[in-house]
Amino acid sequence: MIAIIDYGAGNMKSLQFALNRKGLECCVTTEKKQILNSTAMILPGVGAFQDAMTTLKQKDLINTIKDETTKGKPLLGICLGMQLFYETSEEDGEWEGFGLLKGKVSRINYTVKVPHIGWNTLHMQRSSSICQNIPNNAFVYYVHSYAVKEYAYNSLVASTAYGGTIPAIVQQDHIIGMQFHPEKSGNVGLQLLANFGEMIS
Amino acid sequence: MLAKRIIPCLDVAGGRVVKGKKFKNIQDVADPVKLAKRYNQAGADELVFYDITASNEGRDIFLDVVESVAAEIAIPFTVGGGIRTLEDIHRVLRAGADKVSLNSAAITNPSLIKESALKFGSQCIVLSIDAKQTEQYKWDVYLNGGRKHAKLDAVEWAKQGEALGAGEIVINAIHTDGEQLGYDLNLIHLIASSVSIPIVASGGAGSINDFLEVLKPGLADAALAASVFHYNDIPIPQLKKHLYNKGIEIRSERI
């Protein structure tokens, strides 16, 4: 059972439906016990960085998620969920994230329309099982105004071009981040979720 | 590079997809969930559902449709029609929609755009403008499904919508709707060059060439149509292939 961690983010129904369609069981939860008993965790997207961190703190889930990750449980962060992995964010102030990965979150360059909304490509930077059966330059659906910068280069699996290089898929061992919404990215997105499902032992 | 989007639009009444001409002569077309699945498979980049019933019962049936659609497709979709309050928006987003489209309610209560953009994020607030040409280079806004003159200039309203926090604008040209003689390129160009948020062109698509024209640089970021897709006059895979061959950035699914 995959635990989708509910921190008050918007549309989680689409993610549940998408996982179910790939035969992956999931539940939406804030219960510690359910997270401890889960086989993998997903931090979904949509919302503001500060709100998300505050809610997770209030529900006392940050250490639970970190501890489970340290023990080797697969963790997928989607959109804002991925950004929460990093040390800090400049979204409406200066906020501390989980610090699971090195890097910070800042606004997309002012040279392009923000938010970055729509179908954009995945440029593969290195091979990873998470991208199995995904062709180079496949299109996925993005909706975001902030992006990860100053990240560890060896964590970059795929990027996209929008006012500079934006990390699209990052990975450090069993921690995976996707800046786009796989649950809204057609068959490509469903395949990526299935690949994440394969990481669950 | 961001791909241009092809968006089939489904008008839903009493749980069924219907279609009219110039907002009149409504006819039954199909089951919305079945049609949504077909479009998803055909490579549509996004879908739009308009609830064109007014009753409360109709509203609940419509929310069921939204949820059934979310269960079947994995592409973004927008819901509009009869959305008046923050609670209405919350309900459709919870049912599985990604964006909401505001039209008449935003005209009578512009603060709805601002409040909803702050609460749910600009990315999910779409301002839908029904415009009709009144002079050679002048377009007025209409509300209540094109029945009532709003005494608003379409370009000014688009600018105001952007300033209030709308993340995208759909321009429905009433005078070209259902005529299949092409989009109103003058109107689209004027609005696209007046705001810096994405523009979705609607009303008038009849041929593949109409899509090619409206997606050229300086015009629309997405093209919306109903009849030509519902009756399969223009199959989406063929349309996208043609646009791609003509140098338009288009999403393809090679998986």
User: Where do the domains of chain B lie, and which CATH numbers do they carry?
Assistant: 5-245 (3.20.20.70)
Q: Note whether A138 contacts B253, CB cutoff 8 Å.
A: yes
Q: How many residues does chain B have?
A: 255
Q: Say whether the peptide bond before residue B198 is cis (omega within 30 degrees of 0).
A: no
Query: How far is Cα A166 from Cα A81, in angstroms, rounded to an integer?
Result: 16
What SS3 class is residue A90? Answer: coil
Find the radius of gyration of the CA atoms of chain B.
17
Active site residue ranges of A: 79, 181, 183
A133 contact residues in B (CB cutoff 8 A): 255
d(CA A130, CA A108): 25
Read off the tokens for A136: 């180079």
**A140 SS3 class:** strand
Q: Looking at the predicted structure, is the pLDDT value of residue B255 above 60?
A: no
Tokens of B164: 């209030």
Q: What is the distance in angstroms between the Cα of B239 and the nearest Cα belonging to chain A?
A: 17
Span B187-212, average pLDDT: 95
pLDDT of residue B20: 64
Q: What is the 3-state secondary structure (H, E, C) of chain B?
A: CCCEEEEEEEEEECCEEEEEECCEEEEEEECHHHHHHHHHHHCCCCEEEEECCCCHHHHHHHHHHHHHHHHHCCCCEEEECCCCCHHHHHHHHHCCCCEEEECHHHHHCCHHHHHHHHHHCHHHEEEEEEEEEEECCEEEEEECCCCEEEEEEHHHHHHHHHHHCCCEEEEEECCCCCCCCCCCHHHHHHHHCCCCCCEEEECCCCCHHHHHHHCCCCCCCEEEECHHHHCCCCCHHHHHHHHHHCCCCECCCCC
**Mutation target vs B (from A187, A191, A195; most B CBs, 10 A cutoff):** A187
Q: Please check whether residue B197 touches A, CB under 8 A.
A: yes
Give the integer Cα–Cα distance in Å for A75 and A176: 6
* Å between B48 CA and nearest CA of chain A: 14
CB of A89 within 8 A of CB of A83? yes
B2 to chain A, minimum CA–CA distance in Å?
5
Question: From the CA of B74, how many Å to the nearest CA of chain A?
Answer: 5
How far does Cα A197 stand from its chain's mean position?
14
Please confirm, yes or no, whether B11 is among the known catalytic residues.
Answer: yes
**Which residues of chain B from 134 to 153 reach within 8 Å of chain A, CB to CB?**
none
Q: How confident is the model at residue B165 (pLDDT cuts 50, 70, 90)?
A: very high
Burial class, A179, CB count within 10 angstroms (exposed 0-12 / middle 13-18 / buried 19+): buried
The model's confidence at residue B24, banded by pLDDT at 50, 70 and 90, is low
Q: Phi, psi (5° rounding) for residue A49?
A: -55, -50
Task: Give the separation between CA B127 and CA B168, rounded to whole angstroms.
Answer: 6
Please report, for residues A97, A176, A177, the alpha-carbon distance to residue A85 in angstroms, rounded to integers and kept in the order given: 6, 9, 8
pLDDT (0 to 100) of residue B30: 86
Do the chains contact at A141 and B2, CB–CB below 8 Å? no
Which of B96, B122, B255 faces A11 most closely, judged by CB atoms? B96
- Each domain of chain A, given as residue ranges in start order, spans 2-198
User: Given pLDDT bands bounded at 50, 70 and 90, which one contains residue B59?
Assistant: confident
| Lateral strand order in the sheet of A75-78 | A26-29, A2-5, A40-43, A75-78, A175-178, A165-172, A156-161, A116-124, A138-144
pLDDT score, position B54: 63
Do the chains contact at B253 and A118, CB–CB below 8 Å? no
pLDDT at A7: 83
Q: How far apart are CA A102 and CA B3, in angstroms?
A: 31
* Whether residue B233 has pLDDT greater than 90: yes
CATH topology of domain A2-198: Rossmann fold (3.40.50)
CB-CB contact of B221 with B5 (8 Å): yes
Residue in A17, A120, A188 nearest the CB of B2: A120
Interface of A with B (CB under 8 A): 10-11, 13-14, 17-18, 21, 46-47, 113, 115-121, 133-135, 138-139, 141, 143, 145, 161-162, 181, 183-191
- pLDDT 10s digits, A146-200: 999 999 999 999 999 999 999 999 999 999 999 999 999 999 999 999 999 999 9
B67 touches chain A (CB under 8 A): yes
Q: How far is A136 from chain B (nearest CA, A)?
A: 10
Quote the tokens at residue B211. Answer: 């899509």
> pLDDT averaged over chain A?
94
Whether residue B22 is predicted with pLDDT greater than 60 in this model: the reply is no
- Cα dihedral B22, B202, A10, B162, rounded to 10, equals -110
User: Which residue among the candidates B45, B51, B88, B130 is catalytic per the annotation?
Assistant: B130
Spell out the residues 6+ positions from residue B40 whose beta carbon is closer than 8 angstroms to its own: A186, B47, B72, B73, B74, B75
For testing the chain A interface, which of B39, B98, B197 should be mutated: the one with the most A CBs within 10 Å?
B98
| Structure tokens belonging to residue B191 | 């609005």
- Give residue-wise pLDDT tens across range B113-157: 999 988 888 889 999 999 999 999 999 999 887 888 999 999 999
Q: Are B8 and B45 in contact (CB under 8 A)?
A: no
Instruction: Please check the confidence at residue B21 and state whether its pLDDT lies above 70.
Output: no
pLDDT band at A129 (very low <50, low <70, confident <90, very high): very high
pLDDT, residue A37, reads 97
For residue B254, name the pLDDT band (cuts at 50, 70, 90): low
- Answer whether B45 touches A (CB < 8 Å): yes
Q: Is the pLDDT of residue A112 over 90?
A: no
Residue B207 has what pLDDT? 96
Residue B122 confidence (pLDDT): 86
Q: Which chain B residues are closer than 8 Å to A141 by Cβ?
A: 75-76
Nearest Cβ partner for A135 among B93, B120, B254 = B254
Which chain A residues are Cβ-neighbours of B5 within 8 angstroms?
Answer: 118-119
For A51, which residue in chain B has the nearest alpha carbon? B119
CA distance B159 to B156: 5
Spacing of C-alpha A179 from chain mean position: 6
